[in-house]
Structure 1
Amino acid sequence: MALLVYVDDILVANPNISLILQIKSQLNDQFQIKDLGPLKYFLGLEVARQRKGIVVSQRKYALELLDEAGFMESKDVHSPTVLSHKLSRNEGDPLDDNTQYRRLIGKLLYLNITRPDISFATQQLSQFLDKPTHLHLQAAHRVLRYLKQAPGQGLFFPAGSDFQLKAFSDFDWGACIESRKSVTGFCIFLGEALVSWKSKKQPTISRSSSEAEYRALAATTCEVQWLIYLLDEFFIHPNIPAAIYCDSKSAIAIAENPVYHERTKYIEIDCHLVREKLHKGIIKLFHVTSENQLVDVLTKAHCPNSFFKYVSKLGLFNLYNLACGGLSEDTKHSSNTPSIN
């Protein structure tokens, strides 16, 4: 039995419905709970279930955010970032009141729960919470205009997916124009379902692209190991080794060949970590071309065409788009439990 508790809200999950009823009865005897039935809405997350799988989105939350910011009637865009513009602390006029900016970025970060396509943009914007400028606010408004084109887009978890963990690891060397720290990005699939992703600036400066790639690879390995432990708690045993794809042949060579002393002396702990998991058969490294590196969209800005190419492979699903087999307008407004057609 799995219980997810947040303050006074509880989700109960188990394949056996009789056990769920038993737990709810015991809870009601102690706390007088209110049973809301099958999961439809929880902390801003909208859940639609059907035999094909589950879609988790934040459409209502996204629409409320657009309405609050006054962008319901704005012109939408096809990517959350501008390829030719890198944000800096020293550009633009400081905002008189940064409360609005902080509130907006906080809401966008929460929207990342189901929208990996805005992870890189929000990671960039969150670096300027202490002293934002009007250019940072304009960049945040572009993310809102991107959300407007598909506020109902979310994650799709297919019912018939296998239990093979597949991870993509990438980096952008020296991406920060002020500190020259690199950006780590990874996304991890359980079968065809995207279950974990991250876009984050590395804590230290890397002296080479191989070093930056290897730090990203070590972060991905740690996340894969944690997911294996988590799945074991649910009595789910994924197939191992987990496949990790990266586009750096030098990083793979460092992991598989322990004699690269000169290249690895700055990242010795990361080298031992990845090499240990590799030798134990927990992970297996594969080379992937840059064109097929899905996580590239979490490490740098892209033009709309390349952005769509990568995002379309992340397992996102727009429940309210008829072209994707979604709901009609009448169904949207007449049903509280949307399903996949």
Structure 2
Amino acid sequence: MVPNHGLKIDEGAKLADREKYQRLMGKLIYLSHTRPDITCAVSVVNQFMHKPQEDHMEAALRIIRYLKGTAGYGVLLEKKGYLEVSGYTDADWASNPVDRKSTGGYFTFVGGNLVTWRSKKQKVVALSSVEAEFRGIKSGLMEILWLRTLLTEIGFPPKQKSQLFCDNKTAINISENPV
């Protein structure tokens, strides 16, 4: 899915078959559990399940075509001998053209292997890109803390500090030096 996709609800636009669209959404959600590369796109098209239109169905079918062309992709787990926990976060400020809410997401790794990921529309309207990114950092950090706790409880406590990466310098500065 392209940034600034422009998907929204247009009054008077031709409606798609709602039941077919909802079945397709269920299948895409299921597939996104093993294909992190479609998580964000699936999150976007899922916002229109109550009243899907033809352009929403076309966007969902574009995801299916992408999946057919990348059938060999997926999550690969490798043994690397260490259990370092790390993560990456990102946010797309005010990406929803209707309510101006941001979309945030994270990927977390254990021992260099991708283990969890999430893309979700944020619950509140962020007033700046820094705020949207900072909320994304919070979500990624909570996931890293949960993974560290889980590994400790099952007898594999991480020996190194975890790293969380973000592409917004101001959000990083705020998180390193909270006021």
Verify the 8 A CA contact 1:112 1:118 in the aligned structure 2.
yes
Verify the 8 A CA contact 1:181 1:206 in the aligned structure 2.
yes
Structure 2 partner of 1:155: 75
Asked whether 1:244 is paired with 2:164, we answer yes
Shift of 1:196: 0.8
Structure 2 partner of 1:175: 95
Which range moves more in the overlay, 113-122 or 230-239?
230-239
- Aligned partner letter, 2:119: S
Structure 1 unaligned regions, length at least 5: 1-80, 260-341
Pairing of 1:44-123 with structure 2 (within 5 A): 81-83=1-3, 85-90=5-10, 92-95=13-16, 97-123=17-43
Shift of 1:151: 2.3
TM-score normalized by structure 2?
A: 0.93
Give the Cα separation in 1 of the matches to 2:174 and 2:3: 32
- Aligned partner letter, 1:194: L
Give secondary structure in 1 for the equivalent of 2:56.
helix
Verify the 8 A CA contact 2:34 2:75 in the aligned structure 1.
yes
Shift of 1:84: 6.0
Against the structure 1 CA distance between its residues 229 and 142, is the aligned structure 2 distance closer, same or farther, given a 3 Å change threshold? same
TM-score normalized by structure 1?
A: 0.50
Against the structure 1 CA distance between its residues 84 and 169, is the aligned structure 2 distance closer, same or farther, given a 3 Å change threshold? closer
**Identity percentage over the alignment?**
40
Q: 2:48 aligns with which of 128, 133, 137?
A: 128
Structure 2 partner of 1:23: none
Number of residues of Structure 1 aligned to a counterpart in Structure 2: 178
Listed one character per residue, the Cα deviations across residues 228-257 of structure 1 (whole Å, up to 9, x for unaligned) are 122123211123321011111211221222
Give the Cα separation in 1 of the matches to 2:74 and 2:81: 17
Against the structure 1 CA distance between its residues 172 and 161, is the aligned structure 2 distance closer, same or farther, given a 3 Å change threshold? farther
Structure 2 unaligned regions, length at least 5: none
When you count strand as a share of all residues, which structure comes out higher? 1
